[in-house]
């Protein structure tokens, strides 16, 4: 691999309204990581994936807007990282099809999300695939396309997504194998085990499904109300309190400096009243969130600006990576210009394609020397007889350098070969030569 910066790619699901747990567990660490030196970071809104679950168009649009505004407000800098919307890079879905055609169906059968749906159907006495869409089934292939289209090296994900990265590697490997070259490098999952999971209002993990969340950008007064509704025990002011298993304490820790956290622990031991403790928690959360909330409100008020940012990112990415890659991949799989010279006979093995055209010199039973230009099994040029091998070699050299016109050379075209075919082969040879010289 060349010395290009590491490519780190993260897909953001565009569903729901982000809460403090998402912020501390996903958004904040990802934004910190986006500032790492020597990395090229890709952040995208996985809006195509969201259609598998969310089929209310107005909500899909709203959610995409809110999530985009959240990441921008939280400090993602679209001039330093790639920030885009999955559906703005249509080459992704085209690549998905190419991958679909090498992906093993058996592997998809074993995907956790699909298997869970089947298991549930079985438990309910339903048909295996009842209410399962093909979208859910194909989810891992679309995700592989997201990753492979930009040849990402590392993909930071939660543990539940590791299997998807393994599938992306599998599909990439199969494609590389079938089409005879390392089109894709194999991405690695990057798991951060230090990422905090925040407790919610009731002390269980903060999650929409428990209805215990603190939304990230509620107005200040509502944030305060929510913080004051966090469940605590019934200890009175003056009684020592335990930090162990205290949701209040864990939330505080996620927003405070280590010194502040130590001070807060001491206050617990000293019997701080729950009201005071909640006020202090509110203060540290508000300190961090308030400037972001202001940016968020500005952004949300101008959805057209967010649209422009996303489109610009997608457009630049397409031009830089996606369109050129798909052009190559189309050629690799044989979706080609029918008039182009590089076409190979349909009975040639796929692997023959990898070898560039070549000149072959040989001696016949008549004692004379000959050469031919071949592309795979196809003979493009056949030379006349030479008395000395040196003459054959020099003719080849002059043809390759373009010093000798085909019409003037002692050669004849192969069966159904056009001069343009020969020219293309000579060009390909020159290109292969230049590539060798450069590496």
Whether 317 contacts 40, CB under 8 Å: no
Distance, C-alpha 110 to centroid of its chain = 21
Partners of residue 372 on adjacent β-strands? 360, 382
Q: Binders of ligand TRP among 165-224, rule CB under 6 A?
A: none
Q: Could you please report the per-residue DSSP string of 221-269? A: HHHHHHHHT-----PPTTS----TT-HHHHHHHHHS-HHHHHHHHHHHH
Angle at the Cα of 260 from the Cα atoms of 259 and 264, rounded to 5 degrees: 120
Q: At what angle do helices 258-269 and 274-301 cross, to 10 degrees?
A: 150
Nearer to ligand TRP, 66 or 146 (CB): 146
Give CA–CA dist 407/404, Å, rounded: 8
Does residue 81 bind ligand TRP (CB under 6 A)?
no
48 binds ligand TRP, rule: CB under 6 A: no
Give the integer Cα–Cα distance in Å for 217 and 354.
55
86 in Cβ contact with 146 (< 8 Å): yes
Nearer to ligand TRP by C-beta: 91 or 146? 146
Stretch of residues binding ligand TRP (CB under 6 A), selected from 121-129, 154-162, 204-212, 264-272: 154-162
CA distances from 99 to 17, 91, 146, 191, 328 (A): 32, 12, 11, 25, 14
Interaction of residue 68 with ligand TRP, rule CB under 6 A: no
Asked if 44 contacts 84 with a C-beta cutoff of 8 angstroms, the reply is yes
**Tokens representing 385?**
């007889």
From 24, 52, 138, 143, residue interacting with ligand TRP (rule: CB under 6 A) = 143
Distance CA 92, CA 394 (A): 48
> Which residues ranging from 363 to 422 are in contact with ligand TRP (CB under 6 A)?
none
Judged by CB, which is closer to ligand TRP: 49, or 241? Answer: 49
> By CB under 6 A, which span of 6-14, 55-63, 97-105, 359-367 interacts with ligand TRP?
6-14
Q: Using the rule CB under 6 A, is 85 a contact of ligand TRP?
A: no
Q: 11 or 200, CB closer to ligand TRP?
A: 11
Q: Which stretch binds ligand TRP (CB under 6 A): 71-79, 155-163, 334-342, 385-393?
A: 155-163
Nearer to ligand TRP, 26 or 299 (CB): 26
**Does residue 10 interact with ligand TRP by CB under 6 A?**
yes
Residue 377 CA to residue 394 CA, distance in Å, equals 24
Measured from the CB atom, the residue of 108 and 411 that comes closer to ligand TRP is 108
Q: Of 7, 19, 28, 49, which lies in the binding site for ligand TRP, with binding defined by CB under 6 A?
A: 49
Question: Which of residues 94 and 202 has its CB atom nearest to ligand TRP in the complex?
Answer: 94
Does position 140 interact with ligand TRP (CB under 6 A)? The reply is: no
Name which of 46 and 429 has its Cβ closer to ligand TRP.
46
Q: Which of 8, 20, 30, 46 binds ligand TRP (CB under 6 A)?
A: 46
Instruction: For residue 405, give both structure tokens.
Output: 């016109």
Sole binder of ligand TRP in the list 27, 73, 147, 248 (CB under 6 A): 147
Q: Provide the token pair at 66.
A: 């809110």
Q: What is the largest CA-CA distance in the chain?
A: 111
Of 301-330, which residues contact ligand TRP (CB under 6 A)?
A: none
Q: Give the range of 5-13, 62-70, 209-217, 354-362 binding ligand TRP by CB under 6 A.
A: 5-13
Distance from C-alpha of 248 to C-alpha of 280, rounded to nearest angstrom: 10
Question: Residues in contact with ligand TRP, total (CB under 6 A)?
Answer: 12
H or E stretch covering 279: helix 274-301
Name the residue number minimizing CB distance to ligand TRP.
11
d(CA 366, CA 285): 92
Interface residue with ligand TRP, options 47, 66, 88, 146 (CB under 6 A): 146
Choice between 46 and 230, CB closer to ligand TRP? 46
- Binding test (CB under 6 A) with ligand TRP, winner from 76, 89, 138, 157: 157
Which of 191, 432 has the CB closer to ligand TRP?
191
Which parts of this chain interact with ligand TRP (CB under 6 A)?
9-11, 13, 46, 49, 143, 146-147, 155, 157, 161
């Amino acid at each position: 691999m060349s010395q290009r910066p590491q490519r780190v790619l993260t897909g953001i699901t565009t569903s729901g309204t982000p809460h403090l747990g998402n912020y501390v567990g996903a958004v904040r660490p990802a934004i910190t990581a986006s500032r790492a030196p020597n990395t090229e970071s890709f952040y995208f809104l996985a809006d195509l994936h969201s259609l598998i679950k969310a089929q209310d168009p107005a909500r899909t649009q709203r959610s995409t807007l809110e999530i985009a505004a959240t990441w921008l407000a939280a400090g993602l800098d679209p001039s330093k990282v790639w920030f885009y919307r999955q559906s703005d890079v249509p080459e992704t879905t085209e690549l998905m099809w190419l991958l679909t055609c090498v992906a093993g169906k058996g592997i998809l059968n074993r995907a956790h999300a699909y298997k869970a749906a089947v298991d549930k159907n079985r438990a309910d006495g339903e048909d295996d695939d009842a209410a399962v869409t093909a979208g859910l089934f194909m989810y891992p292939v679309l995700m592989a396309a997201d990753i492979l289209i930009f040849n990402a090296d590392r993909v930071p994900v939660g543990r539940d997504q590791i299997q998807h990265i393994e599938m992306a590697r599998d599909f990439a490997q199969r494609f590389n194998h079938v089409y005879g070259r390392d089109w894709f490098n194999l991405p690695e999952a990057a798991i951060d085990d230090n990422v905090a999971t925040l407790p919610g209002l009731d002390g269980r993990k903060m999650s929409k499904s428990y209805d215990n969340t603190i939304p990230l950008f509620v107005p200040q007064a509502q944030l305060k109300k929510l913080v004051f509704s966090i469940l605590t025990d019934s200890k009175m002011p003056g009684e020592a309190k335990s930090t162990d298993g205290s949701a209040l304490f864990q939330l505080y820790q996620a927003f405070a400096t280590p010194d502040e956290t130590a001070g807060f622990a001491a206050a617990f031991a000293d019997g701080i009243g729950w009201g005071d403790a909640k006020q202090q928690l509110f203060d540290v959360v508000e300190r961090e969130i308030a400037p972001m909330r202001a940016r968020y409100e500005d952004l949300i008020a101008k959805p057209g600006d967010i649209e422009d940012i996303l489109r610009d990112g997608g457009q630049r990415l397409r031009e830089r990576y996606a369109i050129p890659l798909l052009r190559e991949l189309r050629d690799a799989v044989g979706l080609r210009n029918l008039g182009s010279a590089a076409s190979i006979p349909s009975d040639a093995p796929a692997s023959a394609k990898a070898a560039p055209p070549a000149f072959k010199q040989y001696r016949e039973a008549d004692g004379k020397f000959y050469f031919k230009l071949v592309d795979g099994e196809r003979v493009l040029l056949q030379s006349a007889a030479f008395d000395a091998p040196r003459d054959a070699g020099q003719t080849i050299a002059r043809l390759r350098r373009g010093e000798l016109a085909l019409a003037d050379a002692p050669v004849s075209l192969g069966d159904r070969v056009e001069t343009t075919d020969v020219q293309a082969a000579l060009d390909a040879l020159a290109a292969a030569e230049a590539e060798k010289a450069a590496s």
